[in-house]
Chains A and B, each alone.
Chain A
Amino acid sequence: MSEQSKPARPLSPHIQIYRWTLTMMLSILHRATGVALYAGTALLAWWLLAAASGPEAYAQVQAVSSAWYGRLVLFGYTWALFHHMFGGIRHFIWDTGRGFDLKHVEILARITAFVPPFLTLGVWVAAYVYLGVL
């Protein structure tokens, strides 16, 4: 940390001070999922480059993506994608000037928090159906 991070003046209360709320957690999660999705595009690039390179390279991707840890990462990635997408849609609603009253803020927060996990599960059930496992 540089000295700039310790200014000689009183600081405003930081996150430790406040009681945790859903909206606060979602704000943090929106950034966290954004950063995770950012890093994960390296996997998208790997997959596409492997497909363009040939069967051997592609087999390596398939080996990793079908291993338990690969599936775990992809599952997490699916959730991050939906979570970030819903967070973004919530911001679009706010952009129109609507949904700022406490009641709607809370409704939107709950939708953003609780719908993406179900969508993620749905996508994975569908994928396993196409795989012929389910």
Chain B
Amino acid sequence: MLLRSKDKHEIASSEITPKDTYRAFQTTRRSLLAGMGAVAATAALPRRAHALSPLKVVPSAYTVPDRATTPEAKAQSYNNFYEYGEDKSDPAKNAGKLHLRPWTVKVEGLVKKPLTLNIDDILAYRPIEQRIYRFRCVEAWSMVIPWDGYPLGELIKFIDPLPSAKFVQFISLEDSHVMELPDGISWPYAEGLRMDEAMNPLTLLTFGSYGETLANQQGAPIRVIVPWKYGFKSAKSIVRIKFVDKMPRTTWNDMASDEYGFYSNVNPSVDHPRWSQAHERLLNTNSFLPKTVPTLMFNGYGDQVAQMYAGMDLRRNY
């Protein structure tokens, strides 16, 4: 369902700051800030308010027939996006400040040619599929969400990384003008995947959900969705993609490596130190009573991903 009206959020194209002006403004502003350590300059930041807009999506074979889809309002009001605050209701309150255009994604590291890609070019590169995935948070709750995007592998094939690239690192936006960036976590947020995981057809480069562009608090305008891993592996608001030969730094693993492994595959038999991962609260109803269901190995995607971990001790490589 799309609720859209001509209201204060909509800005006439004539009012949009031209990119060059904006860039020039940014540059001057930065040098100004550097020079005088100014405060309160944020008020002058040009902002583009954002309303969800429809995406042209094609249906896919990826559905979750045995589970109802989570109501959209729930998926967009309960988000772990620590840049906007620690409470799961904070991102929906605070992420409105994020401006989504201009937005570029830098591609760097072990690639033939470093690139800076424009979000609209990435978006238009392949048809947008709608895939309904189980989404399992490490905090033992889960949702069922239709994500809109195309396989990350398609973009990686286009980027053409060097054979020496063994891992991909995703860096999220870090911008104190539009984000809270609470103390205690070293920003920017970074996540990563092994190359074969990134190339797995399930790994979705995601621009939207429920047939609309992503809400800011969901990690607009571009994120990944890795459905067989805990939610925090699915980096949001990506600004850099880096190809590397060693296992890259990832934020939660940095913070507490005993709680969040690099792999973080959904695994009911490996407890989080503070709670069991054997069950999850399925948040897909409009009832206040909880629906607790057993957690599935690889979040139910074992057929598509288990072979990547053949021979690995998943208890140690949690």
Chains A and B are bound partners: no
Which residues in B have some Cβ–Cβ distance to A below 8 Å?
none
